[in-house]
Amino acid sequence: MLRFGVRGRSVCVENLEKCLETVGCYRESSGTSRIFNVNSKHTIPKSRSRCLIDSETRSNGAEGRCALSTTTTPTSEPRKTCLYDLHVKNNGKIVNFSGWLLPVQYQDAIAASHLHTRTFASLFDVGHMMQTQVFGKDAGEFLESLTTSDLRKLGNGCATLAVFTNENGGILDDLIITKDSEHKYFVVSNAGRRKEDSQLLLQQQENFRVLGKSVTLEFLDPLDQGLIALQGPTAASVLQTIMQTDLKKLRFMNSVETVVLGRPIRISRCGYTGEDGFEISMPAHVAHSLVQMILDTPDTKLAGLGARDSLRLEAGLCLYGHDIDEKITPVEAGLTWLVAKRRREEANFPGAEKILLQIKSGVKKKRVGLSIVHGPPAREGACILTPEGERVGKITSGGPSPTLGRSIAMGYVPSELAHYGGGVLVEVRGKTYKATVTKMPFVKTNYYTAK
């Protein structure tokens, strides 16, 4: 299969779970941009806007509706990140995404930006994401009471993918928790769940206070604290040119706090593309200067939400509100590995009874990857059918893969149809096309394990 200009990878792992085990984070082992309101008639062309980007509430629309649709009401005032002016200056095509004014792309086509990220490095503004500091002597217990994670065994400076779950085992949000120390954690969660996550954290904080426990929350304002993602094979060499910290010592899902431009910043080796890369949290007043320093390096470009989505789809990563939501459990989503061994034994996390039963007895449906060699892309909402034509599921994310040169998708099917290599049908505009159940990620990951 042709790979359009994508360099060979020196470090590849099959999925995020294996890579987390490998790195051993655990102790046991030129003009003004036009603003498009995507709920209005004046949307960007379908060829550019048909993408599922970042996190928001699932829409109930018809097959193929673009997930750019905002969850805000028409009268809501959209918010800006601290880098909004930079996007305008660089001719970013700004959309109102879940109440945030963000670039869906720049002058390059989304596919071109996608391939640039796979070949060199791209910089994404992810400052709309929710950044939260959690500290106090009971901070670890506090976060464990809301998630399925084992934070006791997480080493200082290490991060883990986690999920908030409800009492029925459903996923309330997916997030990354970084452990700075026994009493201090840094949490990044989805922008589209900011209100729900804030309420969840504040309510549990009050519950802990009633019990005499100490937990302090600090929600960082996106206008005061920026967050960017530098992703791609050359990301490390690019970032190394502007800081003294030895990035060769910073492995995947590890984080370090350092000083750049005289200000403290946090560098976490992670991302949402499947490539090696970093998320950088920094004070707003140095954000423009830091970003410009990065963009001044060769072969580094700005990228928007469109490329971010197609990259994460190739990496087989879930999009909240589409591939996972409060009615989907970690087991059904193929995220059983997020339920830590100790937490299974203690059975003291939200939804433990249902989740543990599913781990033991199995589930009726599973998230799978689908490869569609011939036919149009099967997008969110498209039906999945048995080879005999019975409708049994729906696509949750889908679109063309610029790297592979064919269409790919994710969706839920009955467990008996979830075996790799099996065949199903997908329905697009009234016609059915053959699809094959495929292992994910669709494109091998390039996470840095320092080996």
133 pLDDT higher than 70: yes
Length of the chain: 451
How far CA 312 is from CA of 14, 25, 354, in Å, comes to: 14, 23, 29
State the first-to-last Cα distance of the chain, in angstroms, to the nearest integer.
Answer: 28
Give the C-alpha separation, 54 to 303, whole Å. 14
Strands 121-125 and 300-302: parallel
Is the CB of residue 316 less than 8 Å from the CB of residue 410? yes
- pLDDT value for 8: 37
Q: Enter the tokens of residue 332.
A: 């059904």
- 14-23, 36-45, 177-186, 327-336: range with lowest mean pLDDT: 36-45
Q: Enter the tokens of residue 285.
A: 């007043």
How large is the C-alpha radius of gyration of the chain?
21
- pLDDT value for 24: 45
270 pLDDT higher than 60: yes
Burial (0-12, 13-18, 19+ Cβ within 10 Å), 345:
exposed
259 pLDDT higher than 80: yes
Give the C-alpha separation, 115 to 118, whole Å. 5
Is the CB of residue 50 less than 8 Å from the CB of residue 69? no
Closest among 308, 296, 237 to 95, alpha carbons compared: 308
What value, to the nearest 5°, has the Cα angle with vertex 28 and ends 249 and 337? 95
Chain-centroid distance, C-alpha 167: 24
Q: Is the peptide bond before 441 cis (omega within 30 degrees of 0)?
A: yes
- pLDDT value for 33: 36
Give the C-alpha separation, 69 to 40, whole Å. 9
Rounded to an integer, the average pLDDT of 274-284 is: 98
- pLDDT value for 76: 72
Give the C-alpha separation, 254 to 290, whole Å. 21
- pLDDT value for 2: 32
Per-residue model confidence as pLDDT tens digits over 66-116: 344 333 344 578 999 999 999 999 999 999 988 999 999 999 999 999 999
Give the C-alpha separation, 51 to 217, whole Å. 34
pLDDT above 90 covers a percentage of the chain that reads 82
How far CA 122 is from CA of 103, 170, 282, in Å, comes to: 13, 34, 18
Per-residue model confidence as pLDDT tens digits over 33-60: 333 333 333 333 333 333 333 333 333 3
- pLDDT value for 70: 34
- pLDDT value for 25: 54
- pLDDT value for 185: 98
- pLDDT value for 346: 98
Per-residue model confidence as pLDDT tens digits over 219-253: 999 999 999 999 999 999 999 999 999 999 999 99
- pLDDT value for 74: 45
Q: Enter the tokens of residue 157.
A: 């400076």
Three-state helix/strand/coil letters over the chain: CCCCCCCCCCCCECCHHHHHHHHCCECCCCCCCCEECCCCCCCCCHHHHCCCCCCCCCCCCCCCCCCCCCCCCCCCCCECCCCHHHHHHCCCEEEEECCEEEEEECCCCHHHHHHHHHHCEEEEECCCCEEEEEECCCHHHHHHCCECCCCCCECCCEEEEEEEECCCCCEEEEEEEEEEECCEEEEEECHHHHHHHHHHHHHHHHHHHHCCCCCEEEEECCCCEEEEEEECCCHHHHHHCCCCCCHHHCCCCEEEEEEECCEEEEEECCCCCCCCEEEEEEEHHHHHHHHHHHHCCCCEEECCHHHHHHHHHHCCCCCECCCECCCCCCCCCCCHHHCCHHHHHHCCCCCHHHHHHHHHHCCCEEEEEEEECCCCCCCCCCEEECCCCCEEEEEEEEEEECCCCEEEEEEEEEHHHCCCCCEEEEEECCEEEEEEEECCCCCCECCCCCC
Per-residue model confidence as pLDDT tens digits over 173-226: 999 999 999 999 999 999 999 999 999 999 999 999 999 999 999 999 999 999
Average pLDDT, the chain: 87
- pLDDT value for 49: 35
Per-residue model confidence as pLDDT tens digits over 348-368: 999 999 999 999 999 999 999
